Amino acid sequence: MTTSEQGPAIMRGPSFDPGAPDGAFYLQPAGLLSGSLAAHARRKGTAEWLAGGPLAFTGCTVIRRRGTERSETLFGLADLRHWAADAGLAAALEDRLRRLSRPRAAVAGLRVDRPIIMGIINVTPDSFSDGGDFAEAGAAIAQGVALLEAGADILDIGGESTRPGAAPVGVEAEIGRVVPVVRALAARGAVISIDTRRAAVMTAAVEAGARLINDITALTGDPESLAVAARSGVAVVLMHMQGDPQTMQQDPRYVDAPLDLYDHFVERIAACEAAGLASDRLVLDPGIGFGKTVEHNFQIMERLALFHDLGCPILLGVSRKSFIGRVSRGEEAKRRFPGSIAAGLAGLSQGVQILRVHDVAETFQARAVWERLATCGQTPDQPAPA
């Protein structure tokens, strides 16, 4: 059951008090502004930059839950601080607001104060969108060069299909697929991400020049992957997936999909830090389409801003995903480009820092227009927290 209300009054749920000062609450930025409105609100003190900008937030939704019950209260920033003071949470709130506001660490040497485009290269015969198109190393390398010329900031290279129902690939086969491509494109100066859930592949790819590990299991799919990632010194994408590729779409269930993902990331960030993998090397990916129904995907997309409270850059992978066709006309993967752009821009408008895409040139153009609008009226030294 969910109840909601707009502040400043503290809302009472059906059988528990969400205003009780137990310190446990989710904080979702609300009232997002961009362009000159964001800059003006920040100067007036009525908004804070979101993850360093160019978006700003003028309020937050405080979410509390117990079991299946959830309550929400929407506050402007001033009322939010009054609520926190009354609840004995003033210091905790200010810490959370600083975490929401501060600029994010660079990813693989790339600043994230503007959206980053990650181009996809599947060196596989059976990926859902382009399986077989770039299965041979020469074709994959040529595609990488083309994506760089089209505007990709990062190339994400994978040698195992993780589409629903996909069978696993042997470690040596996966290494044989990706390493020649990683080495060749890294030698050209490209920033390379290795898309793998296996520690041995991570090691081989990093040695060949990869500067980012992108793991759909959030470093849980191989008992050695957490230690390998920590030692590697490179950035790491932690993706959420319920189940595994063979079973994940059979019957995915959540109590509350966005909040369940948030809790999952809290646990994985803590595990990484305990293993010596600092949070400033982490990127979070909600894993759209990985163990999620269409409805789950949209619930998560609606609340992407929630994950900024974790303090890490956010990666969004919606390119050509099946949910696009399911809410449209059932288009096949390669005909889902317009929906991919729409979903990606929706993510940027909630502060997502990285878009993982197939169609780089088109996304580059869409990003250019979005960025010009988002920064219109902001001076070169903005955005930056005061």
The label of the residue with tokens 């859902």 reads 128
Q: Is 296 helix (H, G, I), strand (E, B) or coil?
A: helix
Among 70, 320, 356, 367, the active-site one is 356
Helix (H) or strand (E) holding 365: helix 360-375
The label of the residue with tokens 């760089």 reads 148
CB-based contact 240:287 (threshold 8 Å): yes
Residue among 229, 123, 119, 245 nearest 174 (CA): 123
Residue among 117, 119, 111 nearest 53 (CA): 111
Kindly write down the DSSP assignment for every residue of 29-76, as one continuous string.
EEEEE-HHHHHHHHHHTS-EESTTSS-EEEEEEEEEEETTEEEEEEEE
Among 42, 96, 211, 321, the active-site one is 321
Residue among 208, 188, 195 nearest 169 (CA): 195
Report the distance separating Cα 76 and Cα 367, nearest Å: 29
Strand partners, 238: 215, 284
Is there a catalytic annotation at residue 321?
Answer: yes
Task: Give the pairing type, strands 26-33 and 154-158.
Answer: unpaired
Kindly write down the DSSP assignment for every residue of 232-251, as one continuous string.
H-SEEEEE--SS-TTTTTSS
Report the distance separating Cα 156 and Cα 185, nearest Å: 11
Is there a catalytic annotation at residue 334?
Answer: no
Please calculate the CA angle 122-125-128 and round it to the nearest 5 degrees: 65
Q: What's the token pair of residue 124?
A: 């596989």
Strand partners, 26: 63
CB-based contact 269:218 (threshold 8 Å): no
Q: Which amino acid is at 50?
A: L
Under 8 Å CB-to-CB from 131, ≥6 apart: which residues?
122, 124, 125, 161
CB-based contact 75:59 (threshold 8 Å): yes
Residues with active-site annotation: 321, 356
